[in-house]
Structure 1
Amino acid sequence: MPTYQHTCVRCGPFDVIRPMRESAADATCPTCTEPSRRVFGAPALRALPAGLRGALDAQYRSADAPRVVTSLPGRPGRTQRRATDPRQLRLPRP
């Protein structure tokens, strides 16, 4: 279930865990039982998988300072398969 942050005028911020269908409902402070207002903040990204979190971080870093490439990447190594048919051995090679 999602966690919603509310703030009380007297006591300060506190979290409320409730279903999404009840997100607009009023919350009362657990300490002084006064009505409180909901505070909207950044989403909790700590629950993302590590790979996705790393990709998002790299995306944000590249927006300000993209990596500069100074040369073309090398060609990947190709494995040579030996031809078994003698007619294939006479074909031109790249």
Structure 2
Amino acid sequence: MPLYAYRCDEDGPVDVMRPMGAAPPVLACPTCGADAPRMITAPRLRADRARVAAIDRAESSRTEPTVVSAPPPRPAGPRPAPRLDPRTAALPRP
């Protein structure tokens, strides 16, 4: 749910969380009740820390990919046989 910013002349900025597109152009200030017009700001969406960390990692890897010293280890044990698609069962096999 996005945060919308409003500015009251007496009390300063007021942040209000509303559904997307449901914010009115003018809001009554919760402190003094005066009209507070909506300010145009960059989008601010509330997200949990794990999601923000994932976005930050993806953003940084775009220009600075992580450097690895070796390929990832192979899993121990035999590899499972691939699952055959029943739609291709009637096709000739080499």
| Smaller-chain TM-score bracket | 0.5 to 0.7
TM-score (norm: length of structure 2): 0.53
Percent identical among aligned pairs is 33
Structure 1 unmatched runs, 5+: 81-94
1:18 to partner: Cα distance: 4.7
2:70 partner letter: S
Higher relative contact order (CA 8 A, sep 6+): 2
The code of the aligned residue for 1:43 comes to: R
Larger Rg: 1
1:72 and 2:76 are equivalent in the alignment: no
Equivalent position of 1:27 in the other structure: 27
Give, in whole Å, the separation in 2 of the partners of 1:58 and 1:17.
27
User: 1:44 is matched with which residue?
Assistant: 45
TM-score, reference length from structure 1: 0.53
Cα displacement (A) at 1:11: 1.6
Give the number of the structure whose residues are more often helix, by fraction: 1
Aligned partner of 2:55 in structure 1 is: 56
Number of matched pairs: 78
Contact 2:6 2:13 in 1 (8 A): yes
